[in-house]
Structure 1
Amino acid sequence: MGKGNAISNFFSNITEPRDSNKRHKLIDLITVALCAVICGADTFEEIEEFGHTKKAWFETFLDLPHGIPSHDTFARVFARMDPKEFQKAFLGWVESIRSATKGIVAIDGKTVCRSRTRQTSPIHMVSAWASEHRMVLGQVKTNAKSNEITAIPELLALLALEGCVVTIDVMGCQKAIAEKIIDKGADYVLGLKGNQGTLHEEVELYFEDGLASKFKDIPHEYHETVDGDHGRTRRYWTTSADWLPDKGCGNSFPPSS
């Protein structure tokens, strides 16, 4: 990693959440935690353990005046940190270390396990996953799965997507979301079901006719996969959708490449 994308370049301006008498530098805490989580740490105890395991390496570029912080220290500091400040710094750092993404960016919503309490609803996160780089590019928290429609444009605004193909399930099949993706210089693949009534019906009829004629005289591509665990075969036919406007539907969606 070069000097231009060092963690300190992006996280050094985060507001210090602690009072005086600090034993550990904030940038040291953040750096150890980020490296630990990237390598699979899920808890503050595991972050501390990772820090001790890699202490000699960390000492080559961090001060660590009092060694590796305890897991309690990690927990207290991150609990007090401004999450929006951290997210902004994290996204900037991620953008600096990844090469230009030309592959798939999958946007999906998940409910965080064990996030429901007696007083609060479960936490729902909408995330952008870069398939080629196998990393999360950004996340936005929502109050419920039904709020994904408003959270997705907010997440898209945070990301550099030029040259990517953005995939979203049925919840994201909205004109405004498609337009946002095109505005970011990307293409899109959106799930289509009954939430786009006429459009869904026309596409369904088109493929029924195509299958009946074995796609004779219809330009198309065919792809087949076999599920290794169950031996299930999946067959895919893809074709251009440039005929949709002639059917009086689909023309409200901006064209994708």
Structure 2
Amino acid sequence: MHETLSYLEEVEDTRQEKKVLHSMSDIIAIVFFASLANASEWTEIYYFAVERETFLRKYLKLANGIPSHDTIQRVFAMVSPEFLGKFQTQWNELLSSNEGEKIKKILAIDGKTQRGNGTNKQKANHIVSAVDEEGFCLGQKCVNEKTNEITAIPDLLDDLNIKGNIITTDAMGTQTNIVKKWIGYN
């Protein structure tokens, strides 16, 4: 996991160096770990970090402690989506490795609509997630606006190493082609 997290050190930090108290890589990692535990609001991410500071210090420097939720939000907004996408890809590769086998057991596949991000011209995002029994999200796929979870679940499964795992889902995920994909992995 340390190799995957070391990628975060490569992020371009455009902040004024003399005003920086918290490393950008630490902030990205905090948001990442918190989002794996389904924290979705900045205050939830902050409280996640405060409650799990001992765990986070195993992987992060946190030289000045846990940043405030305002700092987390402000700094995270500076990170490019391409950088985050590449980090997510590296995380998925970690999960598919032997190291990733240590954290997988039961996976729940489910879709949720993100409230508050829709507009008059665009529907709110609908995300299909794979969550383990500890509440960590191991992968996500955004459902295309003109489709549904049935098309996103196979793509999500392709990104995960599900061999040997127990998969749970609601009725939407029990389509023949999805079940065949599960059986093909086991």
Label 1:179 to 1:48 Cα distance change in 2 as closer, same or farther (>3 A).
closer
Secondary structure of 2:147's aligned partner: helix
> Which residues of structure 2 form unaligned runs of 5+?
none
Root mean square deviation of aligned Cα: 3.5
1:138 Cα deviation after fit: 1.3
Out of 93, 98, 102, the residue aligned to residue 99 of structure 1 is 102
Q: Which one scores higher on RCO, CA 8 angstroms, separation ≥ 6?
A: 2
Separation of aligned partners in 2, 1:52 and 1:108: 28
Is 1:10 the counterpart of 2:9 in the alignment? no
Secondary structure of 1:13's aligned partner: helix
- Could you give the per-residue CA deviations for residues 64-83 of structure 1, whole angstroms, max 9, x where no partner exists? 45554343332233333324
- Could you give the per-residue CA deviations for residues 92-123 of structure 1, whole angstroms, max 9, x where no partner exists? 55664663645x43322221222322342111
Query: How many aligned positions are there?
Result: 177
Q: How does 1:95-244 map to 2 (within 5 A)?
A: 96=99, 99=102, 101-102=104-105, 104-131=106-133, 133-144=134-145, 146-185=147-186
- On the 8 A contact 2:36/2:137 being kept in 1, the answer is no
- Decide which structure has the larger Cα Rg and report it: 1
Is 1:45 the counterpart of 2:43 in the alignment? yes
> Which residues of structure 1 form unaligned runs of 5+?
186-257
Label 1:175 to 1:85 Cα distance change in 2 as closer, same or farther (>3 A).
same
Separation of aligned partners in 1, 2:53 and 2:131: 30
- On the 8 A contact 2:127/2:140 being kept in 1, the answer is yes
Amino acid at match of 2:127: M
- Could you give the per-residue CA deviations for residues 151-189 of structure 1, whole angstroms, max 9, x where no partner exists? 11110011111122323334334443233222222xxxx
Separation of aligned partners in 2, 1:54 and 1:108: 26
- On the 8 A contact 1:17/1:77 being kept in 2, the answer is no
Q: Tell me the percent identity.
A: 34
1:124 Cα deviation after fit: 0.3
- Could you give the per-residue CA deviations for residues 179-235 of structure 1, whole angstroms, max 9, x where no partner exists? 3222222xxxxxxxxxxxxxxxxxxxxxxxxxxxxxxxxxxxxxxxxxxxxxxxxxx
Q: How does 1:13-32 map to 2 (within 5 A)?
A: 13-14=7-8, 15-19=10-14, 21-22=16-17, 23=20, 24-32=22-30
